[in-house]
Chain A
């Protein structure tokens, strides 16, 4: 009679805890913990860092959500926002000439209400070039805060009175920084920040005056999201809602890259840990054939054996899952602490979702990679107690692993929601696996040729590898995979990270100059050269309005992407160039060659997608009343975070030249030489300089945060790689120990056995090391090129480090594992249980 479920449960729990105590489960549990901790740690962390990054990004809106309109925004929105638990603030901005005595200049007046900015902080100083501090609050009524550029143009400083419309306001502070400075072409004039209460007195708001109204909202993410969803539908004509995703492409692009790095790290950790789990489970279940035969012999039914295995795995999954989640949570706490300075604000604590995720991870990895092996062991015939050679029918690894792989893949897709990344990495890992397997098999095969060549120990060792065939391939692949990860992490990771950071070097352009007239480019180049600054590259800019796509009127077209519609309705900035800019890359089509006769345009990829453009489409523009058109001949990606002037649409030479153009350029001016810019503005009064330091700072901050987080998460990957190595060593050990003991029993000398074993392990290590170097090189290249749009340099160090590491690590660990056997009397190993 078989016992009831409850006692099976108790029995399984007891067996499990005894196995744990005897060290049978160590590798399996370690691998499981790493997988779960990596998954949850990253999920927790990306959640929090993502929030931090978003907050930082939100600063460039000064809010989480911004409603813009050309008409005064109804108070209803304030009520709606407050009901949704959000803070609100208002901005009204308009260009106006301001006077300081005789001097006058065009300024962007920003009248703000209390609470502005809802995100980020204003920085001010008591006078020009004075000490900059963070200001809470806004100018008091009757006062104004002026940007340094405005003061420079007016030749004024704090304390002076400005005439703004019909009001007189006293400049009380210099406004050095506002978080929503941005650098869109709209905000050309220097800022004058005033209190909303003064707006009426200025009498600037008249019928027909160009006032832009904004309402800002900020609050908890969930509240903001649901609020956004509700009001998105009620927007009136002329009202436009933007959130942080619509802001600076620079920040967005580095955020995306950071997210990809983080996901990559956790994904690879999980996949690697799954490999380790599979190996450990294989070893565990193989070691337990005897136990299962015995249990059956003692009367356990097939279903009881299966139940028991299943319960044990379930318990492992739950316990391992919970502990893994805890580890992930702790790791994340540590990381958040590491980044406390950069995060700045205290973050809302992470939600429970990653915890649930951890449990699901544990379950699916065990179900996918350990259950098939264990279930198969349940088929061990009881007669094995009498005939040791009776094994369960061989597992169809192909099929069972396919199920496991599918489970884990589905999980990853579900979590990361980035099909391209997951599938790329997954295909990469699978290919790596297959390639390693095939190469490993060839290498192992080729060892047969060596057999006759060397001494006895060599012959014995090498023959062993070839004889074990399949097992050897598995070991070579496992060691190769583990080493490859180590190599990737130690070299490629730093290279990738460096390349990433170098994409925004310290001397990245921090000044954008626009509105440069064609005749000014020469003198301006000379101006900078005189001051020992490199002459910048001038890029032409032509303002135009898009009129037609393939002959159809864009104002009548419907766009699938609402963003596309916005682009089509708005003035475009066009440029031309003879060749592709260094930070651009063609993804589809071809760039024109020098003497092409056709009128072509190269379109930025996302922009083109939003407009629904494809190669060969004809786009028409209205430039100063004349119709111009060109054929879309290529799509490009642009590194917006390079801070060079870049355009959505770049034309081939000869199309735009006849039309009035201005030039723009960007350059780096060190903090200590800011006076150069002031000089420049005096010499070229019509040129507008835009200070990018604020945006640059934001991007750098995002990068630094993300880089640190990514480095930390790679620790999990490292651990996962080490666990694979560990599992491989454990698998190797069982067999070699027994064999070496046998050899000793048959009278082989210590030296002989040792050199045989050494040869075997060194050879395996060498093979694995070569595979690892090849794999790491290829993987590094593919990662850099395909996922991160970075250029990757070939690294010869890998080819030295890989084989060396392999020989040393595998050789030593293998010998350490067999050392006891060789030195102790062989009986201790041969003694059966």
Chain B
């Protein structure tokens, strides 16, 4: 449902792409029950990009895993679009991911026995798409790797691998893209190129982006930054640096400060 109000059409808070309420995660450890995520709530609007930052061990990946439905919370609920993820079983969550979620990881996670092109084809083939090859080729082209489409992961540099991963993430046209430290294994310059590509493709396809990083510079390019510490979101600030004025969060009283 879209509101006719043109000012608010982009980030409509009452129609979020992703919503979490009071998420907690406890794990058992030798010292007893450990709370690694503590009552986290958040909302991400369609098309919005948010960054989750924090020191190592703050619980960023844990949160990401819960938001993407890769894991189940000890308490709380998660909605992806209008579907309550936490009400679904593992297969239900997987089915939902198949249609609306893309991932980019720190350690690329390409399949070593598949070529670059085949890696991009994988999610399409998994969902039984018929035009997997053409669509994947188009995606590979978009990330500028057409000449290397037949290469295996071990023949590609880290940056190239991550570009393949980005192509793979976008090829299914996800509504939400999760990225966990996408530049963590890359040098600064390559990292920046990758981030540029990520934002470019994000903008072009209007995807909602959830980005985990400890790079504040990178975080600043997102619409919003959530700061995490010891399992809680203790601060939130607005990013939007490096963006054209139109893309900056337009003035609107409903946005968080």
Interface residues of A (CB under 8 A from B): 1-4, 7-8, 10-11, 14, 18-19, 21-24, 290-291, 294-304, 381-383, 385-388, 828, 831-833
Contacts and interface: CB of A to CB of B under 8 A. Distances in A.
B108 to A, nearest CB: 6
Given A832-B107, A833-B112, A4 B128 contact: yes
Contact of B109 (A7, A14, A294, A381): A294
Given A831-B158, A832-B185, 11 more contacts: A7-B128, A10-B125, A18-B118, A22-B113, A22-B114, A294-B122, A298-B98, A300-B94, A300-B126, A301-B94, A387-B61
B90 A302 contact: yes
Contacts of B95: 1-2, 299, 301
A7 B132 CA distance: 12
Given A2-B95, A386-B64, A833 B109 contact: yes
A1 B180 contact: no
Contacts of B76: none
Given A2-B95, A11-B125, A297-B70, A18 B113 contact: yes
B97 A297 contact: yes
Contact of B111 (A2, A291, A301, A385): A291
A2 to B, nearest CB: 6
B126 A11 contact: yes
B99 interface: yes
Contacts of A303: 91
B108 A833 contact: yes
B99 A833 contact: no
A382 B94 contact: yes
B127 interface: yes
Interface of B: 61, 64-65, 68, 70-71, 90-91, 94-99, 101, 103, 105, 107-114, 118, 122-123, 125-128, 152-154, 158, 161, 172, 180, 185
Contacts of A295: 122, 126
- The winner among B90, B113, B152, B153 for most chain A CB atoms within 10 A is B113
Contact of A1 (B114, B125, B127): B127
Contacts of A833: 108-112, 153-154, 161
A19 B122 contact: no
11 contacts: A1-B127, A11-B125, A11-B128, A18-B118, A24-B113, A294-B122, A298-B126, A299-B97, A300-B98, A301-B94, A833-B153
Nearest to B169: A298
Given A298-B126, A832-B107, A2 B153 contact: no
A303 B126 CA distance: 13
A22 B127 contact: no
Given A2-B95, A22-B113, A298-B98, A832 B61 contact: no
A393 to B, nearest CB: 14
Nearest to B61: A386
Contacts of B113: 18-19, 21-24
* 3 cross-chain pairs, A with B, having the tightest CB-CB distances, nearest first: A299-B98, A3-B128, A22-B113
Nearest to B66: A383
Contacts of A24: 113
Contacts of A3: 126-128
Contacts of A299: 94-99, 101, 123, 126-127
A10 B124 CA distance: 12
A11 B126 CA distance: 7
Contacts of B114: 18, 22
Contacts of A387: 61, 65
A291 B161 CA distance: 16
A19 B114 CA distance: 8
A2 B61 contact: no
B128 A385 contact: no
Nearest to B92: A301
Contacts of A381: 70-71
A408 to B, nearest CB: 29
Nearest to A2: B95
Contact of A301 (B71, B91, B105, B112): B91
Contacts of B111: 290-291, 294, 833
A831 B128 contact: no
B47 to A, nearest CB: 22
Contacts of B128: 2-4, 7-8, 11
B174 to A, nearest CB: 10
Contact of A383 (B71, B98, B158): B71
A290 B108 CA distance: 11
A382 to B, nearest CB: 5
B97 A385 contact: no
Nearest to A302: B91
A303 B153 CA distance: 28
Contacts of A4: 128
Contacts of B65: 383, 386-387
B105 A385 contact: yes
Nearest to A5: B128
B65 to A, nearest CB: 5
Given A2-B95, A22-B112, A386-B64, A831 B70 contact: no
Contacts of A828: 154
Nearest to A11: B125
A8 B185 CA distance: 34
Nearest to B98: A299
A301 B69 CA distance: 13
B99 A1 contact: yes
Contacts of B112: 22, 833
A10 B128 CA distance: 9
A832 B101 contact: no
A395 B53 CA distance: 38
A438 to B, nearest CB: 33
B94 A296 contact: yes
A301 B70 CA distance: 12
A301 B122 CA distance: 14
Given A299-B99, A831-B158, A386 B91 contact: no
A21 B152 CA distance: 11
B70 A385 contact: yes
Contacts of B180: 386
Contacts of A831: 154, 158
Nearest to B158: A831
Contacts of A832: 107-108, 185
A1 B98 contact: yes
B92 to A, nearest CB: 9
A831 B110 CA distance: 12
A24 B114 CA distance: 11
A298 to B, nearest CB: 4
Nearest to B115: A18
Nearest to B121: A14
A773 B99 CA distance: 59
Contacts of B109: 290, 294, 385, 833
A211 B217 CA distance: 114
A2 B90 contact: no
B126 to A, nearest CB: 5
Nearest to B100: A299
A303 B107 CA distance: 27
Contact of B105 (A1, A23, A386): A386
A374 to B, nearest CB: 15
Contacts of A19: 113
Nearest to B90: A302
A632 B254 CA distance: 108
Contacts of A298: 97-98, 103, 122-123, 126, 172
Contacts of B172: 298
Contacts of A291: 111
B249 to A, nearest CB: 29
Contacts of B126: 3, 11, 295, 298-300, 304
B55 to A, nearest CB: 17
Nearest to A308: B126
B72 to A, nearest CB: 10
B95 to A, nearest CB: 6
Nearest to B110: A833
A297 B103 contact: yes
A11 to B, nearest CB: 5
